[in-house]
Amino acid sequence: MADRAGVLTSPAPIVRQDSRIQRFFLRHEWARGYALLSPTLAVMVLAMCLPVFMLAAHSFWTQNYLTIDETFTLANYEQALGWLWGAEGAKPIYIRLLWKSMQISFGVTVTTLILAYPFAYFLAFKVRRNKNLWIILISVPFLTSYLLRVFTWKIILGFNGVINSGLMSLGIISEPLEFLLYNPTAVLIVLAHAWAAFAILPIYVSLEKIDRSLLEAATDLGDGPFRRFWRITWPLSVPGVIASGLLVFIPTVGDYVTPKLVGGTEGIMIGNIIQSQFGKANNWPLGSALSIVMAIAITIVVLIFLYVMSLGRVRAK
């Protein structure tokens, strides 16, 4: 046929046959995907799986002053959990600390979620322009060092702190209040503050994703604002609330910085005990066993939580 465009006169390109390996990858999309994924997976295996495996191995060994005896033993677990079944010489401190850590973390999670939800709702439904500006606004305080942020709470809650000097200058109290700092409540306040911004984002995303016409439909069908929230907005934002809750709960159980700085003796958590096993107490196997116990305990709590949530959602249907 006539080539009036004149661009197609030169010879067509030659088809090139690829090598056998190239053909394998060409044929199998999964192989290409995994080839791309493999460096990242390797990092995860080497920097996470292998170390956690070693940690688990350690928990079955024994510390002999500076060396580690690598004979298999359950003694560390007996020391950690033995109080539950009345094993001889087992102390209740580890169980109690774990339980207390869970309680504090749970308190932190609930507090953070209750505080964050209205803000996320405001951001998703009330702010029309410059949503990014608000998001930046809530994240900027978290660009300061975590340690210094915890430390500033000491300034606020401390003996000569903002609250005490403020209340004294107003004449409400004559002596500084000592119960503000160095107790579990202080830990709770500081952690709730530290995780505030993280809790907002997943809730905000789940609220933002809600199709606005659903809300209009609910209104159209006669729901008032509260009924509409309860029947439409809340159920659809539950996944975000769950994500936020897990994002706050899991890391706070193992925190040792905040309790150490503002918790006092009453406010120490399981993380502090584990940390000390790798420091002053120098009993790595016991520390390993305690951290494994903590990880399992967290997993159980999370699974129970997810199970309860799924039951609730089935019933809602």
Indicate the residue among 162 and 173 with the shorter CB distance to other proteins: 162
Stretch that binds other proteins, among 86-94, 106-114, 192-200, 307-315 (CB under 8 A): 192-200
The reply to whether 281 sits near other proteins by the rule CB under 8 A is no
Q: What is the DSSP string of the chain?
A: ---TT-SS-SPPPPP-PPPHHHHHHHH-HHHHHHHHHHHHHHHHIIIIIHHHHHHHHHTTSEEETTEEE-S---HHHHHHHGGGGT-TT--THHHHHHHHHHHHHHHHHHHHHHHHHHHHHIIIII--S-HHHHHHHHHGGGGS-HHHHHHHHHHHHSTTSHHHHHHHHTTS-SS--STTSSSHHHHHHHHHHHTHHHHHHHHHHHHHTS-HHHHHHHHHTT--HHHHIIIIIHHHHHHHHHHHHHHHHHHHHT--HHIIIIITTTT--HHHHHHHHTTTS--HHHHHHHHHHHHHHHHHHHHHHHHHHHHHHHHH-
Residue 259 as a binder of other proteins (CB under 8 A): the answer is: no
Q: Take residue 261 and report the two structure tokens written for it.
A: 């700085």
Nearer CB in complex with other proteins: 177/257: 257
Q: Which of 80, 262, 268, 298 binds other proteins (CB under 8 A)?
A: 298
Between 95 and 138, CB nearer to other proteins: 138
Q: Binding of other proteins at residue 171 (CB under 8 A)?
A: no
**Position 224 contacts other proteins (CB under 8 A):** no
Provide the minimum distance between the beta carbon of 258 and other proteins in the complex, in angstroms, as a whole number: 11
Question: Which position among 80, 196, 203, 207 is part of the footprint of other proteins (CB under 8 A)?
Answer: 196
Contacting residue, 88, 126, 280, 317, with other proteins by CB under 8 A: 126
* 241/261 with CB nearer other proteins: 261
187 CB burial (10 A radius; 0-12, 13-18, 19+): buried
Q: Is 112 one of the binding residues for other proteins (CB under 8 A)?
A: no
List 115, 236, 238, 301, residue binding other proteins (CB under 8 A): 115
By CB under 8 A, tell whether 119 contacts other proteins: yes
Write phi, then psi, for 38 (nearest 5 degrees): -60, -40
CB 117, min distance to other proteins, A: 10
Among 77, 149, 234, 236, binds other proteins (CB under 8 A): 149
Question: Between the CA atoms of 45, 51, 53 and 58, what dihedral angle is there, to the nearest 10 degrees?
Answer: 170
Options 162, 303, 308, 311; binder of other proteins; rule CB under 8 A? 162
In the window 46-85, what residues touch other proteins (CB under 8 A)? 47-48, 50-52, 54-55, 58
Of the candidates 82, 97, 193, 199, which one interacts with other proteins according to CB under 8 A? Answer: 193
Output 75 or 243, the one with its CB closest to other proteins: 243
Among 167, 236, 238, 257, binds other proteins (CB under 8 A): 257
Read off the tokens for 278: 């790798």
CB closer to other proteins out of 3 and 88: 3
If binding is defined by CB under 8 A, does position 113 make contact with other proteins? no
Residue 5 engages other proteins in binding (rule: CB under 8 A): yes
Q: Does 86 bind other proteins (CB under 8 A)?
A: no
